[in-house]
């Protein structure tokens, strides 16, 4: 019987192709979402397949990265470290942008002449109060938890290695 060749170089090339396929599928799903929304108008029920593909694959990737310890190992590099401060700043910035968007939207849609600034400020401040804390927590907490679990997994694997080498 002929030996089945598992060539590391071919495997590595195939892995690169799989990675590209993954990005391609995500891009095609996004294009499909945009096309369907433009053609049919926004209807969430028509976008379920794309949402399942995008969220499912990204979720799988995230969970695997955390459980194999690589999430923590990548972040351990101090240069690329995703610090809680940086994440909080990002969350806060997104919160401000959302608040501006809602403020402008409500002043255009609902305010009469002369009330626009008042409507903008009212909605802007209310949105800031809601979205900034929520988004800061939403960006800092998952990263903190993922790092913690991933670190434990990474150390567990190294612990197994230490036990093996001592045996």
Is residue 5 near other proteins by the rule CB under 8 A? yes
Closest to other proteins by CB, 5 vs 38, is 5
Is residue 1 near other proteins by the rule CB under 8 A? no
Closest to other proteins by CB, 8 vs 77, is 8
Closest to other proteins by CB, 113 vs 165, is 165
Residues 89, 92, 98, 99, CA torsion sign: negative
- Judged by CB under 8 A, the residue of 1, 6, 38, 79 near other proteins is 6
**Can you point out the beta strands (E) in 33-82?**
none
Closest to other proteins by CB, 6 vs 109, is 6
Residues 107, 109, 115, 118, CA torsion sign: negative
End-to-end CA distance of the chain: 37
- Judged by CB under 8 A, the residue of 7, 43, 77, 164 near other proteins is 7
- With left for phi above 0 and alpha for psi between -120 and 50, is residue 111 left, alpha or beta? beta
Is residue 85 near other proteins by the rule CB under 8 A? no
Q: How far apart are CA 36 and CA 38, in angstroms?
A: 5
Residues 38, 44, 50, 55, CA torsion sign: positive
Is residue 10 near other proteins by the rule CB under 8 A? yes
Is residue 129 near other proteins by the rule CB under 8 A? no
Q: How far apart are CA 72 and CA 62, in angstroms?
A: 12
Reported residue count of the chain is: 167
Closest to other proteins by CB, 3 vs 85, is 3
Give the binding range for other proteins (CB under 8 A) out of 3-11, 35-43, 105-113, 150-158.
3-11
Binding site for other proteins (CB under 8 A): 3, 5-10
């Amino acid at each position: 019987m002929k030996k089945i060749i598992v060539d590391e170089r071919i495997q590595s090339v195939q892995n690169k192709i799989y990675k590209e396929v993954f990005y391609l599928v995500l891009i095609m799903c996004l294009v499909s979402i945009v096309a369907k929304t433009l053609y049919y108008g926004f209807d969430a029920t028509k976008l379920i397949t794309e949402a399942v593909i995008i969220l499912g694959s990204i979720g799988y990737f995230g969970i695997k990265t955390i459980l194999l310890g690589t999430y923590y190992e990548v972040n351990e590099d101090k240069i690329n470290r995703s610090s809680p401060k940086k994440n909080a700043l990002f969350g806060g910035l997104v919160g401000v942008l959302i608040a501006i968007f809602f403020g402008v939207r409500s002043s255009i849609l609902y305010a009469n002449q002369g009330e626009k600034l008042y409507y903008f400020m009212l909605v802007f401040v209310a949105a800031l109060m809601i979205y900034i804390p929520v988004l800061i927590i939403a960006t800092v907490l998952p990263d903190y938890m993922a790092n913690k679990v991933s670190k434990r997994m990474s150390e567990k694997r190294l612990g197994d290695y230490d036990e093996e080498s001592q045996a």
